[in-house]
Chains A and B, each alone.
Chain A
């Protein structure tokens, strides 16, 4: 135990399964956890849509809500849940000195304007002039701000007054991994005492699907758990809208204000495996071996995306090494991109706090586990690039 242990004292989470820790715990420990799917809107692709959200509960000003598109609203809302959960929301001094790292992609483009340009381009050849003509007259001026990656953090500052510092990391799952890893390292070294860290992903926009499908990563056809998608048509990924934000504090900082923590973040390891040359499963085995030794089998909240190669490699690494009982949570939430690792950490912390493991989400590929989890592994192996994993331990 150290005064600078990294404690998780607040969790905000949203996915198709609901909003908040209780809703997720109930949905994921149900006798038969079932996914919430929308098979129509973006057919032939399935998505896990957002639940109904009363944005005003965390973003009281209508004006603020109007300045954001759904992605920023989702992140700002979920950050508010985490701050509430940690009991810091109304402590002005505490949020004003709070650091922040957000893992972000980009916001939503104006679908109607873009479609108008695509259609008009079919009948004329001066495309560059067409772009100038349409974009100068049809774009809503403030939409740019709703698209900028760092403006999710910007909106969190405005709405929740988190202003100690504000950093936005980009780069799909890797951004979420680095966000958690950097936040934990800053607390452990005394560079920060309390940090808000997290990410949001809003998949319900054609561009968000396009970013995967340009390389054929999306799954088509019926829903199956992430471990069973090799035979399904397409690339294996089913996406979801969702977000996870954590309030991390040094043990000393949390104790001083009398906060009980869900769990602590242990060692986090990250990698950039050269997948075109190296064997990914072997590299992941190496990462698993670099974690401190543990007794018995630990639950593993896997952020496997379903993408064929990465998912098979992760499965192989986790089943070859002894002692990992996998739970592929994305079977039920969909792939949350930048939010994948923060979400895995949140679920791991939640199970430790509740004192129960999650049941299997895929009986054919996951092993049951008994007893209160004391150490849980969280992973996020990028569908395309970047790998990370970390241990979450009892507070």
Chain B
């Protein structure tokens, strides 16, 4: 088997995958829920919903850290996904010996900690009181939870990854960027394998309110499982969610040498920034178009070779329209026939984790020859003519997938994956 691609670079394959979403922990549970069209979206119980316009989410509520704050939960989500991925790859779980790329949400001192700190003594006024209490109490846990490097440091410690771990954020494209960084490092010959994780456990009340104030969230609270309806006419926003996806990326040469099972191939990654607006895409869709084209060209593939698209499909009026426009421009008339589905119809938008979670599901789609559906597709948007694999899974022989990730701040990252090495 040829271990370099058409550009002479090492072929990068996936040898381990792990996932956690509101649907459950691990690939088996997630896949069975996803292919039976089950939604993980539910009423919020983590915090009171008084005064909130949106009262539903795809939070991960079944873990010990689920009520311990964004930093602790994000760590646990990343930890569980990575453990599953590394174990599947057949690599010792304490001696990974490749670099770590972690997509994670920006962290802040948790409100509960801030309130506790402020109230612990009242000696001074305003911010000076907070600083004085911080100085006096030296709460190492508060400190660690508010440092951006902590989660990756702990993961690196546990899994024995090599060197300085990279924590990154490209908003809702973060998970895809983590994979891209790993692919690039292997192609540069810096390592034989890399651990790419996207994790997000940041569904706090404040996070929900922030997105709500930007009118980004669905307010269809009455039937939570019906709220996320990508490409439907009555879609009204995304559903905030949590989750994690982890992938062991490895050079084909290294995977073959150690006899590892090859779960799929990372053929190409492409990106293009948008300079139009902080939250809105350029009306002509040119940055998203360029990102898709860059991924295809990096994969050395033509658009005719893409068999299925794992959509960004957030269920916001803006994204789904823009994604349709961009894809129609790249794929032309054929876009009506390419199956495209949105995992977010069931798991909601896992933000920093989304790109990694959806890459795992994309690879499973090829391996299992089953396309998970876009659920809640009861009222199609006539302006968006797509085969969204409505409401029911579909058996199909899929050899290649395009996965899209678009985010605030003009972030557009696309991945092209294949079932088997060429």
Contact = CB atoms under 8 A, between A and B. Distances in A.
Interface of A: 42, 45, 67, 100, 104-106, 109, 111, 114-115, 117-118, 121-122, 126-129, 131-133, 135-137, 139, 141-142, 144-145, 147-151, 153-155, 157-158, 161-172, 174-175, 177-178, 181-182, 185-186, 189, 191, 206-207, 209-211, 213-216, 218, 234, 270-272, 274, 382, 384-388
Contact of A214 (B134, B171, B272): B134
B48 interface: yes
Given A154-B410, A210-B134, A270-B163, A168 B273 contact: no
Interface of B: 47-53, 104, 106-109, 111-112, 114-115, 118-119, 122, 126-127, 130-131, 134-135, 138-140, 142-143, 146-150, 152-153, 156-157, 163-171, 177, 181, 184, 187-190, 205-206, 209-214, 271-279, 287, 407-411
A175 B149 contact: yes
B123 to A, nearest CB: 13
A210 B149 contact: no
A30 B16 CA distance: 57
A150 B171 contact: yes
Given A106-B106, A133-B50, A185 B275 contact: no
A121 B115 contact: yes
B407 A150 contact: yes
B349 to A, nearest CB: 15
Given A136-B53, A211-B143, A215-B138, 17 more contacts: A106-B107, A115-B127, A121-B118, A129-B51, A132-B51, A148-B409, A155-B278, A161-B275, A163-B274, A167-B170, A178-B164, A182-B181, A185-B188, A191-B188, A210-B127, A210-B134, A216-B135
A139 B210 contact: yes
Given A157-B410, A213-B135, A129 B48 contact: yes
Contacts of B276: 158
Nearest to B129: A118
**A145, A166, A182 — most chain B CB neighbours (10 Å):** A166
Contact of A168 (B50, B163, B168): B168
A80 B48 CA distance: 44
A170 B167 contact: yes
B131 A213 contact: yes
A142 B280 CA distance: 13
B136 to A, nearest CB: 9
A133 B142 CA distance: 25
A163 B411 CA distance: 9
A171 B214 CA distance: 27
Contacts of B274: 157, 163
Given A162-B273, A163-B272, A132 B134 contact: no
A47 B127 CA distance: 16
B165 A272 contact: yes
A135 B205 CA distance: 9
Given A135-B209, A139-B209, A182-B181, A144 B48 contact: no
B51 A165 contact: no
Contacts of A153: 273, 409
The 4 A-B residue pairs whose C-beta atoms are closest, nearest first, are A154-B409, A171-B149, A206-B127, A214-B143
Nearest to B276: A158
A388 B165 CA distance: 12
Given A111-B127, A151-B278, A129 B50 contact: yes
Given A132-B50, A133-B50, A385-B149, A148 B109 contact: no
11 contacts: A131-B111, A142-B214, A145-B409, A147-B106, A157-B409, A162-B273, A165-B272, A167-B181, A168-B168, A189-B187, A214-B140
A118 B168 contact: no
B130 A145 contact: no
Given A272-B153, A272-B164, A170 B106 contact: yes
A272 B47 contact: no
B273 A165 contact: yes
B126 A167 contact: no
A132 B273 CA distance: 34
A149 B407 CA distance: 12
Given A170-B169, A172-B147, A206-B127, A144 B213 contact: yes
Contacts of A214: 109, 134, 138-140, 142-143, 146
Nearest to A173: B149
Contacts of A271: 163-164
Contact of B187 (A129, A191, A213, A382): A191
**A100, A137, A177, A207 — most chain B CB neighbours (10 Å):** A207
Contacts of B188: 185-186, 189, 191
A211 B149 CA distance: 12
Contacts of A149: 106, 148, 169
Contacts of B205: 128, 131-132, 135
Contact of A182 (B166, B167, B212, B273): B166
B277 to A, nearest CB: 7
B128 to A, nearest CB: 8
Contacts of B214: 141-142, 144-145
Given A167-B168, A168-B170, A215-B138, A148 B106 contact: yes
Given A106-B108, A166-B410, A131 B206 contact: yes
Contact of A210 (B131, B152, B177, B271): B131
Contact of A150 (B115, B131, B411): B411
A127 B112 contact: yes
B131 A206 contact: yes
Contact of A272 (B112, B156, B190, B410): B156
Contacts of A67: 278
A311 B212 CA distance: 44
Nearest to A139: B213
B164 A388 contact: yes
Nearest to B156: A272
Contacts of B407: 150
